[in-house]
Structure 1
């Protein structure tokens, strides 16, 4: 059990962190793909500083989460598509 906690803690600490405001969109996407997951700081369209965790694919999400495409600001565009983990919400059943 202790070894599992150590592995999880090590993986969390190993996440790359960078600012998308200083990188072209293609480089942001390439960095996330290469690392699998990264903490990215960026500026919202309303000029608020934000940060979040973005991933290469659903394998980097936790159980019960799926990927969703979101758009963040990069140095060369206001709409850089990246993947974000989000809790899965099943569609409403109209039966």
Structure 2
């Protein structure tokens, strides 16, 4: 159990560090932002001074029961740049 908690703790620290050192979309062109996501497959991008998210090339970079929903970010040259997707839960319509 301690090993699992330690792994979770260090993964959380790593994610925080990635967010702090990640690229800022406001300082790049739309083409640059799209290229980063396309080449990395999954990347954390800062979208403002205190905001960030993980963007993916496609659903293969999401976990089980997740899908990539289209995502747009503000860049230096575009108000809404389609960079790829954000992993979201797959919603199942049960007909109700």
Q: More strand by proportion, 1 or 2?
A: 1
TM-score by length of 1: 0.73
Q: More helix by proportion, 1 or 2?
A: 2
Q: What's the RMSD between the two structures over aligned residues?
A: 2.3
Runs of 4+ off more than 3 Å: none
Question: Do structure 1's residue 54 and structure 2's residue 55 form an aligned pair?
Answer: yes
Q: Any idea what the Cα deviations from partners look like across 1:8-57, whole Å, max 9, x if unmatched? A: x6xx77x78211111101110111110111100113xxxx7410000011
TM-score by length of 2: 0.72
Gaps (5+ residues) in structure 2?
none
Gaps (5+ residues) in structure 1?
none
Equivalences, count: 81
Secondary structure of the corresponding residue to residue 80 of structure 2:
strand
